[in-house]
Amino acid sequence: MKEFFESIPHVKYEGTSTANPMAFRYYNPDEEICGKKMRDHLRFAMAYWHTLCAGGSDMFGVNTSDKSFGSSDPMTSAKNKAHAAFEFMDKLSIDYFCFHDRDVAPEGKTLEESNRNLDEVTDLIKDLMAEYNKKCLWGTANCFNNPRYMHGAGTSPNADVFAFAAAQIKKAIETTVKLGGNGYVYWGGREGYETLLNTNMALELDNMGYLLKITSEYGRKIGFTGDYYIEPKPKEPTKHQYDFDASTVCGFLAKYGLDKDFKLNIEANHATLAGHTFAHELNVARVNNAFGSIDANVGDMLLGWDTDQFPTNVYDSTLCMLEVLRAGGFTNGGLNFDAKARRGSFTYEDLAYSHISGMDSFALGLRIADKVIRDGRLDEFVANRYASYNSGIGKRIADGVATIEELEEYALKMGDVTTNTSGRQEYLENILNSIMFG
Ligand code: XLS
Ligand code: NI
Ligand code: NI
């Protein structure tokens, strides 16, 4: 097969003294950090849709980057794209990829034809995975692009659309199993609404719960042992997305009895669109036993939409990796670059530079997060801050045995609270700076 990315070399770790922009300065895949190789901590994945498919078009302009990979015939292009995908992962030392059904093979005129296309291209992808020793982090179904999904998929008012979506997801799960995917993601693309004037929210939510139930149960039946994830997002494309944020999704999963089998795929840009920090959403997932996987990207704080930029802010990657380490690390999840180079960064080299900067930012974040934990001052401060729950009345509260009468008696005897201590936010921020910058 011809080389598609001739201008991209095999990118190697060269350490911080290098000036080579096609080298890693922090990501050293086989280096061990707290007993585990960096590649196993970070489990980087390439997003097939951005890296191989997105050409840079936006609402005001057409593609700036050619992603046809040498053919205008959709099936030939899809196969070339698969070769290009594995060449790229190989050159960048990315061990995993994530895909939508429609990224890897073109949609046909009928569902049957679409399924056939998918089978044909994923036969090739399976061979390439073995040849290049690459793995699938997760698969998903694109139930938002085709006009049939204009009113949603599982939440469409049209039962025919629900049935079609169920069949499409069934096939996407089968395909994920075929490729040995570690996970399966549900991003509720158009699962939301624009106006209550035409919407039966109760029915839509019940239907969405039912779609997740029957498709996920089917996956287990055919031998899927990985994790199911919901990817929360508050808005865009619809005004009110049902999977608003991590907390909303955890409530939804509990209501529909899905909480045992589903975790969350947290995306940084979606967190900030919901008015939260990335670390907040990861923390919510963790404390609800729903920490799963991550879509690593970032939004622009001055723009209100999903810009899917490559993450290069080391504060964010540090706080993210702290959450990951505190969750005990990834099991089936990983860091998927659901990110695209800017429209003006249209060359193949930009694909490499953007992944290198994202990977190095998280590698540096991991190195610092490990230092923060080994330093111990932040953990010690938090432990002390809650020490009143370790004994006496606090312990009785934490154990769930304190009665309301007992608490009243305690408060009456106390007269008033005199023991509050400082939260020391700025002191702690400075500790973090000193660990980061010396
Ligand atoms: C879009 C989502 C999408 C999912 C997969 O905003 O982030 O890319 O990750 O469908
Ligand atoms: Ni995403
Ligand atoms: Ni997104």
Per-residue pLDDT 10s for the chain (438 aa) are: 789 999 999 999 999 999 999 999 999 999 999 999 999 999 999 999 999 999 999 999 999 999 999 999 999 999 999 999 999 999 999 999 999 999 999 999 999 999 999 999 999 999 999 999 999 999 999 999 999 999 999 999 999 999 999 999 999 999 999 999 999 999 999 999 999 999 999 999 999 999 999 999 999 999 999 999 999 999 999 999 999 999 999 999 999 999 999 999 999 999 999 999 999 999 999 999 999 999 999 999 999 999 999 999 999 999 999 999 999 999 999 999 999 999 999 999 999 999 999 999 999 999 999 999 999 999 999 999 999 999 999 999 999 999 999 999 999 999 999 999 999 999 999 999 999 999
**C-alpha span between 114 and 116 (Å, rounded):** 5
Ligand 2 centroid distance, CA of 411 (Å): 49
Which residue's CA lies nearest to atom 8 of ligand 1?
Answer: 338
In this prediction, residue 149 carries a pLDDT of: 98
Residue type, 217: E
Ligand 3 centroid distance, CA of 427 (Å): 34
Q: Is 168 left (phi over 0), alpha (psi -120 to 50) or beta?
A: alpha
**C-alpha span between 124 and 86 (Å, rounded):** 11
Q: Among candidates 317, 323, 293, which has minimal Cα distance to 365? A: 317
List ligand 1's pocket residues with C-beta within 6 A.
Answer: 100, 140, 185, 187, 231, 233, 267, 295, 306, 338
Ligand nearest to the CA of 188: 1
In this prediction, residue 1 carries a pLDDT of: 74
Ligand 2 centroid distance, CA of 384 (Å): 37
Neighbouring CB atoms inside 10 A of 396's CB total: 16
Could you identify the atom of ligand 1 that is nearest to the CA of residue 306?
6
Give ion ligand 3 contacts, CB < 5 A.
Answer: 306
**C-alpha span between 65 and 174 (Å, rounded):** 32
Task: Give strand pairing partners of 291.
Answer: 264
Could you identify the atom of ligand 1 that is nearest to the CA of residue 295?
9
Angle (CA) 395 398 403, round 5°? 85
Could you identify the atom of ligand 1 that is nearest to the CA of residue 265?
9
Catalytic positions are: 100, 103
Cβ atoms of 349 and 382 closer than 8 Å: no
Ligand 2 centroid distance, CA of 412 (Å): 52
Could you identify the atom of ligand 1 that is nearest to the CA of residue 49?
8
CA 81 to chain CA centroid, Å, is 23
Find the radius of gyration of the CA atoms of the chain: 24
Which residue's CA lies nearest to atom 2 of ligand 1?
Answer: 187
Which residue's CA lies nearest to atom 5 of ligand 1?
Answer: 187
Ligand 2 centroid distance, CA of 338 (Å): 5
The pair phi, psi for residue 180, each rounded to 5°, is: 65, 30
Ligand 3 centroid distance, CA of 174 (Å): 24
Ligand nearest to the CA of 189: 1
Token reading at 44? 């980087």
Every domain of the chain and the residues it spans:
29-375, 378-437
In this prediction, residue 187 carries a pLDDT of: 98
Ligand nearest to the CA of 185: 1
Could you identify the atom of ligand 1 that is nearest to the CA of residue 142?
10
Cβ atoms of 120 and 177 closer than 8 Å: no
**CATH architecture of residue range(s) 29-375:** Alpha-Beta Barrel (3.20)
Which residue's CA lies nearest to atom 10 of ligand 1?
Answer: 187
